[in-house]
Structure 1
Amino acid sequence: MKYRSVFDIIGPVMVGPSSSHTAGAARIGLVARQLFQKEPEWVSFHLYGSFAKTYQGHGTDVALLGGVLGFDTFDIRIPKSFDLAKERNIDVSFHEEDANMEHPNTVKVKLGDKEHSMELIGVSIGGGKVEIKELNGFQLKLSGNHPAILVVHNDRYGAIASVSTVLAMHEVNIGHMEVSRKEVGQEALMVIEVDQNIGEEVLNEINKLDNVEKVTKIHD
């Protein structure tokens, strides 16, 4: 296994107490915030397994909410997340779920405003690392620990190649890529993890491609 930095081995700089239940939770919340692209008016967290049993004692609740507020794992404002969300008039709820999930540290995050809503499922796999397993019904495998772009597109011939060509033209190296679709020929989701943050110029160029509907990014 290759590590990009020493923090891949010893874990992230974080507000404690737990890398799995606190740092991982904050990372999932932050990914949700970055994908939604703005501050939501409401958010609900549906907790499973170990998360459901210990989320209050281990600070999972404040970490998840802190991430949605835009705080990284090391942000000292995380313990004050509930107060800050109240100041910003964000409606927040937590739900303990009984369903058996593949991983014990699993959370479903639902968030939105008057115009849009989004839903994702994330798991904290240890050491502050996470995986996003589902986004708006699309199955995927996104680490959330490296820069990435998500491209919603029509499932048409050449759509994937056109996005790859733009990245190659800008010398952006792809570390991991996968495509998920609900039905053949319908809407699809392209997930591309890359080695560096991608600028707005590249995102705008991709967004103008035929069959591309929406582009969002996750930055490291």
Structure 2
Amino acid sequence: MKFKSVFDIIGPIMIGPSSSHTAGAARIGRVARSLFGREPKWANISFYGSFAKTYRGHGTDVAIIGGILDFDTFDERIIESIAIAKERGIKLQFIEEDAVPVHPNTARVMIGDENGELELVGISIGGGKVEIIELNGFELKLSGNHPAILVVHNDRFGAIAGVSNVLAKYEINIGHMEVSRKEKGKLALMTIEVDQNIDGQVLLDIEQLPHVLKVTKIVD
């Protein structure tokens, strides 16, 4: 069951004609921006399925760029987001992919600058809701609708328990948690959606744990 109330079906306050093709796309872009942590110098967006066929008419392109610029779904600047991005010197590329996606509203976002890159795959599931299903090659399931922590760590015994103990210490309730790894004993990604906001001290405590390499927070 994807929707909890009638308001989830109606969708969020937004700019654009479609909650799936505009609000959802904006949220995918904004999650990418939140994870990257800064404004990128370039963005390559690949659209699949329905997104590839209708992104111009439904404003999916301006919406996803608006999200990358950190505009919320109701921000009127979304309409001019492509022009704004170009004014800021951000190089943009849109690619219509022929591959059949797991969901018809799928976008692959690749953004970067001279200091790094980020790649994620997001799907818009309706009502403005999204799921991030891939991040830098790691499979995951992230809704983007709740505060979340992403923990990159070495795949070692006790790493998951250590993070869970820190969250328990601060009485933070876990709503969803999963771990993805590319290879046994190598790098792994812990995805944790929680019910409360997360302050900086929680992140610092997690960063100091053995085997933890990087901690990123996503705010709802």
The TM-score bracket by the shorter chain reads over 0.9
Aligned mates of 1:98, 1:6 — CA distance in 2? 34
Give the deviation of 1:198 after TM superposition.
0.8
5 Å-filtered alignment, 1:90-105, equals 90-105=90-105
Aligned mates of 1:113, 1:160 — CA distance in 2? 31
Q: Note closer, same or farther for the CA distance 1:77–1:147 as it changes in structure 2 (3 Å cut).
A: same
Are 2:9 and 2:126, in contact at CA under 8 Å, matched by a contact in 1? no
Give the deviation of 1:3 after TM superposition.
6.6
Give the deviation of 1:13 after TM superposition.
1.2
5 Å-filtered alignment, 1:18-167, equals 18-167=18-167
* CA RMSD, Structure 1 to Structure 2 (Å): 1.4
Aligned sequence identity (%)? 70
Are 2:138 and 2:180, in contact at CA under 8 Å, matched by a contact in 1? yes
Give the deviation of 1:6 after TM superposition.
6.1
Give the deviation of 1:145 after TM superposition.
1.2
AA aligned opposite 2:87: E
Aligned mates of 2:66, 2:126 — CA distance in 1? 19
Aligned mates of 2:206, 2:81 — CA distance in 1? 35
Report the TM-score when normalising by structure 1. Answer: 0.96
SS of the equivalent of 2:175 reads strand
AA aligned opposite 1:114: E
AA aligned opposite 1:166: V
Aligned mates of 2:133, 2:181 — CA distance in 1? 14
AA aligned opposite 2:162: S
Aligned mates of 2:134, 2:3 — CA distance in 1? 25
Aligned mates of 1:45, 1:200 — CA distance in 2? 32
Give the deviation of 1:7 after TM superposition.
3.7
Are 2:31 and 2:218, in contact at CA under 8 Å, matched by a contact in 1? yes
AA aligned opposite 1:89: G
AA aligned opposite 2:91: D
Deviations 1:132-181 (A, max 9, x none): 11001101111111111100000000000110111111111100000000
Deviations 1:110-130 (A, max 9, x none): 010012011100000100011
Are 2:110 and 2:117, in contact at CA under 8 Å, matched by a contact in 1? yes
Aligned mates of 1:74, 1:64 — CA distance in 2? 13
Aligned mates of 1:180, 1:89 — CA distance in 2? 35
AA aligned opposite 2:102: E
Unpaired segments of 5 or more residues in structure 2?
none
Aligned mates of 2:5, 2:212 — CA distance in 1? 34
Give the deviation of 1:10 after TM superposition.
2.7
Aligned mates of 1:137, 1:148 — CA distance in 2? 19
Give the deviation of 1:8 after TM superposition.
2.7
Aligned mates of 2:4, 2:145 — CA distance in 1? 11
AA aligned opposite 1:83: A
Aligned mates of 1:126, 1:118 — CA distance in 2? 25
Q: Note closer, same or farther for the CA distance 1:173–1:4 as it changes in structure 2 (3 Å cut).
A: farther
Aligned mates of 1:196, 1:2 — CA distance in 2? 21
SS of the equivalent of 1:56 reads helix
Unpaired segments of 5 or more residues in structure 1?
none
